[in-house]
Amino acid sequence: MSPAPKFAVIIPTRERADVLSSTIQTIIDQDYDNLSIIVSDNFSQDDTAEVVRSFSDPRLRYINPGRRLSMSHHYEFALSHVEDGWVTIIGDDDALVPGALRKVAGLVADTGVSAVRSTLCKYRWPSPSSAGRLNIPMSRGTELRDSATWLEKVLHGEGEYFDLPMLYTGGFAEKSVMDRIKARIGAYYHSCVPDVYSGTAIASVTDRYLFSHEPLAIAGISRHSIGTHHFSRLQSSEAVSPVQKFLSEGNIPFHPDIPVCDDGITPRLTHVTFLESYLQSAPLRSPLPANFYEEQLSIIAASRVTPDADADRWMEDFARLHNLDLAAACRAGKRLRIRRKLKTMLTRFRTKVKTAKLREPRYKLSNVHAASIAAAQYLFASQNRG
């Protein structure tokens, strides 16, 4: 029997001491011995270091670059502290489901893959106006996916970037895969959106990966969440919003073929975020086809389902930058949207039906650690029933 693989769980954090403790606890609670936990503190000015020191666990390690880094450069710094084995990066308001690392180790032993991705539970942290909420996908089984095929699916709008083997909450990869990317590009990360970029990059250098339909992690949605503020353009209660902090830190510039909106970020279209990372990881693949940008504009137009002035202006800028016929792309996008409408409706219906919604006070959901316990108990009970 081969030895249990070594796991390094990286938690990049920055001034989020209020949620960090619960996230760390979900890693410490893993029933897996060959484990190191690296909390990489991006020069926080709050109680982050004290939170880490409050845990008395020899597997836990605290690192700090000594100065503020952009998100991607911070991820690069943190990943450089892992020498070998398997690695996952988890958000500081997210969680691993109890037993996740043991399950990943078993899947790796059975399949020999070098990357694993899973569906995610979604946990909304409590706020002054609402209690904690937890959604749990109830699908089961695993799927061995061809990396190139799924990268093409997402590129053509037939999948989402979280279908790819992202090295972020719910994603695991051998360090050797990341080393391969660094050897070819010069860095682990080459985009200002490191989680999405990792999915395109890993899919570009691996033949296959395993997708678990049973969730292994929980994506936390809190007042700190950059993605939530990005796609919803939420007004933050803080003096400086998460998105403003993100933009102010000298990150890797957006790809020159991707325009930005007036506020300095891309529009509220997930395919644009994916496309930026796809272009940044282009050195890992064959050259782009001649009609690439024309096709992508049609796909982006198809994904725009609600009125959005920012998205409209962005598509105009993208068409102008690449000398494209926007009206023709919008017509093609409309036809594409109509063809996919039934499939989209069915997918959403299945997702809704196969999602359990846990609410307080029946379940204890005061923080992401409590949510991880509730998720594990619910999944265990449902599997025994089924």
User: Per residue in 322-336, pLDDT tens?
Assistant: 999 999 999 999 999
> Of the ranges 161-165, 170-174, 301-305, which one carries the lowest mean pLDDT score?
301-305
Residue % of the chain over a pLDDT of 70: 92
Tell me: pLDDT of 319 over 80: yes
- Give the pLDDT mean for 11-29: 97
Half-sphere exposure of 272 (CA within 13 A, CB side): 26
Q: Is residue 82 pLDDT above 80, yes or no?
A: yes
Domains of the chain: 7-227+360-385 (3.90.550.10), 289-353 (no CATH)
> Backbone phi, then psi, for 283, in 5-degree steps?
-60, -15
- Would you place residue 230 in the very low, low, confident or very high pLDDT band (cuts 50, 70, 90)? very low
Report, as an integer, the average pLDDT of 336-342. 85
Q: Give the pLDDT mean for 74-81.
A: 98
How does residue 342 score in pLDDT terms, banded at 50, 70 and 90?
Answer: confident
Neighbours of 39 (CB within 10 A): 25
- pLDDT tops 60 at residue 234: no
| Rounded-to-integer distance, Cα 290 and Cα 101, Å | 43
| H helix runs in the chain, sequence order | 17-28, 48-53, 71-79, 100-111, 147-155, 175-185, 194-205, 226-232, 242-247, 270-280, 292-303, 309-321, 326-353, 368-385
The secondary structure of 229-242 as a DSSP string is HHHH-PPPSSSS-H
Does the pTM of the predicted model rise above 0.75? Answer: yes
> Hey, what amino acid is at 292?
F
pLDDT of residue 233 exceeding 50, the answer is no
Using DSSP, state whether 114 is helix, strand or coil. Answer: coil
* 308: pLDDT strictly greater than 70: yes
pLDDT of residue 3 exceeding 90, the answer is no
Q: How far apart are CA 138 and CA 140, in angstroms?
A: 7
Report, as an integer, the average pLDDT of 31-45: 96
pLDDT at 229: 45
**pLDDT value at 238 more than 80:** no
Q: Is the pLDDT of residue 247 over 90?
A: no
Residue 140, pLDDT > 90, answer: yes
pLDDT for the residue numbered 250: 75
346 within 8 A of 311, measured Cβ to Cβ: no
pLDDT band at 252 (very low <50, low <70, confident <90, very high): very high
The answer on pLDDT for 347 being more than 80 is: no
Cα dihedral: 241, 243, 249, 254 (round 10): -170
Arithmetic mean of pLDDT, 4-17? 96
Q: How many residues belong to the chain?
A: 386
108-125 residue pLDDT tens? 999 999 999 999 999 999
Given a cut of 60, is residue 1 above it in pLDDT?
no
Give the DSSP letter of residue 85. Answer: S
Q: Report the mean per-residue pLDDT for the chain.
A: 92
- What pLDDT, on the 0 to 100 scale, is given for residue 270? 94
What is the model's pLDDT at position 236? Answer: 46
Task: Give residue 63's identity as a one-letter amino acid code.
Answer: I
DSSP assignment, residue 40? E
Which whole number is the average pLDDT over 56-70? Answer: 96
Residues of the chain with pLDDT > 90, as a percent, come to: 82
Does residue 240 have a pLDDT over 60?
no
Quickly tell me which residue has 């039906």 as its tokens. Answer: 353
Between 270-280 and 147-155, two packed helices, what is the crossing angle to 10 degrees?
A: 130
